[in-house]
Homo-oligomer: A and B are copies of this chain.
Amino acid sequence: MRGETVGEELFRHRGPLLVRNVLIDQQVADICINEAGHIEAMGKGAETSLRGQDTLEIDGRGAIALPGLVNTHTHAAMTLLRGYADDMNLQEWLEQKIWPLEAHLKGDDVYWGTKLACLEMTKSGTIAFNDMYFFMKDAARAVIDSGMKAVLSYGFIDLGDEDRREREIHATEDVVNYLLGLKNPRIRPAVGPHAVYTVSDEGLRWLAEFSEVMGVAIHIHVSETEHEVQECLSKFGRRPPAYLDSCGILTPRTIAAHCCWIDKNECALLGKKGVHVSHNPQSNMKLAVNRAMPYPSLRKNNVNVTLGTDGCASNNSLDMFETMKCASLLQKFFWNSGTILPAKEALTLATSNGARALGFGPGKIAPGAPADIILIDRNGPCNTPLHNVESNVVYACNGSAVNTVICNGKVLMHHRTVPGEAGIIAGAARAAEQLLQRAFS
């Protein structure tokens, strides 16, 4: 056993790890992480369980330990479009700006965009995310590089066209089989029906069945805008949740993003079906959807509510600290009570609820759990004074308060250094530039 380790050795290390003297649940304790990346023991003197092994050590004095944050809805590679088109109406924005550019995307763009997203998420304390996009094999490469965990789904869009549906089915099968074949415990495949307005009845039914057979998750946008609900109602005579349920899409493996325009009965339906909901307050506000996800009603129906940032084209940041704060503020404001979604609960949404939704363990710092831990600087202005850790974390801090990130027992960031950061920034900037050149030449 030696003193604190810093630099390359820590990032390369694959053996046991000891985080010493960190503040956790208002106590100073050590956290012992075994070679398999799980928490072996906690508390004072816990380090004896690792004695004699090749253990590296992190000095946790001056830090608060929290479970790593989990982002349950994003389109990671859209970092390349950050700031490319803002302050527009939703339909114009999609049709005139986002889709024309996305038509020129290549696998390498998605690789670099996802690498940038992973860097940004790591630097703001996120250890796992739920991604829906294209070229998902390339996205997987980036996630593997980064050391993070992700659920990856190919965005299935058939627009009612049979030929296109066949191609999307093939693409989905291909990606799911490829990702399962990686046998990487940090990567989980999912199917990604985009939404009721972009996927046919047949497509939805096939995806529901395929996801059940393969035992993989379903990642879908649900009732994001009032327009979506009205259109579904006039086309299928049912609102999106009932219609999706009739196609077999509402399951305990399903993560439904947004759910802004759902009523009380629909909250009950989602609860009954065991669907996980991803609340994306910043995207919903920026795109002016004009109604907040009904958190009080979802909570009453025991729905597992989680938090997401959405893609960088509609947020434009992947900082889950921002999202925790904004979720808590928006719920209070829209549902008209200063007591809704208190800080401690917002932190639960962003950690254990998120981890459960994605199948990455309990999302808690506890013996036996995967060592997904972030260390927050307790001496910065945002943690001064320290009357209440959860209040400070949710309402006062942003991602820059995170000093160290550990995912599955591996150190991804220490003293705010992520290995290879400059190369990722340069590669992503170049990919974005070339994408624009291709689109407009």
Stretch at the interface among A6-14, A44-52, A207-215, A428-436: A428-436
In the complex, are the beta carbons of A120 and B391 less than 8 A apart? no
Q: Contacts A83-B388, A317-B382 given: A333-B395 contact, CB under 8 Å?
A: no
CA distance A15 to B319 in the complex (A): 40
Contact with B along A11-31 (1 / 0, CB 8 A): 000000000000000000000
CA distance A317 to B398 in the complex (A): 9
CA distance A384 to B86 in the complex (A): 15
A286 within 8 A of B: yes
Q: Contacts A317-B382, A333-B290 given: A83-B395 contact, CB under 8 Å?
A: yes
**Residues of B close to A287: CB separation below 8 A:** 332, 338
> From A284, which residue of chain B is reached at the shortest CB distance?
B333
**Residues of B close to A339: CB separation below 8 A:** 87-89
In the complex, are the beta carbons of A285 and B83 less than 8 A apart? no
Q: Which of A275-329 contact B (CB under 8 A)?
A: 282, 284-290, 312, 315-317, 319, 322, 325-326, 328-329
In the complex, are the beta carbons of B332 and A384 less than 8 A apart? no
In the complex, are the beta carbons of A398 and B398 less than 8 A apart? yes
A441 within 8 A of B: no
In the complex, are the beta carbons of A338 and B93 less than 8 A apart? yes
> From A283, which residue of chain B is reached at the shortest CB distance?
B329
> From A123, which residue of chain B is reached at the shortest CB distance?
B381
A234 within 8 A of B: no
Q: Which of A375-406 contact B (CB under 8 A)?
A: 379-382, 384-388, 391-392, 395-400
Most chain B CB atoms below 10 A, which of A380, A381, A386, A398:
A381
Expressed in whole angstroms, the minimum distance between the Cβ of A228 and any Cβ of chain B is 15
- The residue that A285 contacts in the complex, of B87, B90, B330, B391, with Cβ under 8 A, is B330
CA distance A82 to B387 in the complex (A): 7
A157 within 8 A of B: no
In the complex, are the beta carbons of B83 and A391 less than 8 A apart? yes
CA distance A388 to B80 in the complex (A): 12
A119 within 8 A of B: yes
Number of A positions contacting B (CB below 8 A): 69
A232 within 8 A of B: no
**Residues of B close to A319: CB separation below 8 A:** 398
Expressed in whole angstroms, the minimum distance between the Cβ of A88 and any Cβ of chain B is 6
A116 within 8 A of B: yes
CA distance A312 to B339 in the complex (A): 17
A425 within 8 A of B: yes
**Residues of B close to A386: CB separation below 8 A:** 83, 429
In the complex, are the beta carbons of B400 and A338 less than 8 A apart? no
**Residues of B close to A330: CB separation below 8 A:** 285, 333
Most chain B CB atoms below 10 A, which of A288, A338, A387:
A338
**Residues of B close to A288: CB separation below 8 A:** 332-333, 336-338, 340
A84 within 8 A of B: yes
Q: Contacts A288-B337, A333-B284, A428-B385 given: A315-B87 contact, CB under 8 Å?
A: no
CA distance A338 to B288 in the complex (A): 5
A342 within 8 A of B: yes
**Residues of B close to A337: CB separation below 8 A:** 89, 288
- The residue that A384 contacts in the complex, of B116, B326, B436, with Cβ under 8 A, is B116
A357 within 8 A of B: no
In the complex, are the beta carbons of B338 and A385 less than 8 A apart? no
In the complex, are the beta carbons of B400 and A82 less than 8 A apart? no
In the complex, are the beta carbons of A384 and B429 less than 8 A apart? yes
Expressed in whole angstroms, the minimum distance between the Cβ of A402 and any Cβ of chain B is 10
> From A86, which residue of chain B is reached at the shortest CB distance?
B391
Using CB atoms and an 8 Å cutoff, list the residues of chain A in contact with chain B.
79-84, 86-90, 93, 116, 119-120, 123, 282, 284-290, 312, 315-317, 319, 322, 325-326, 328-330, 332-334, 336-340, 342-343, 379-382, 384-388, 391-392, 395-400, 422, 425, 428-429, 432-433, 436
What are 6 A-B contacts with C-beta separation under 8 Å?
A87-B343, A286-B395, A290-B333, A384-B429, A384-B432, A385-B428
Closest 7 A/B residue pairs (Cβ): A400-B400, A83-B391, A87-B342, A385-B432, A285-B329, A285-B333, A120-B381
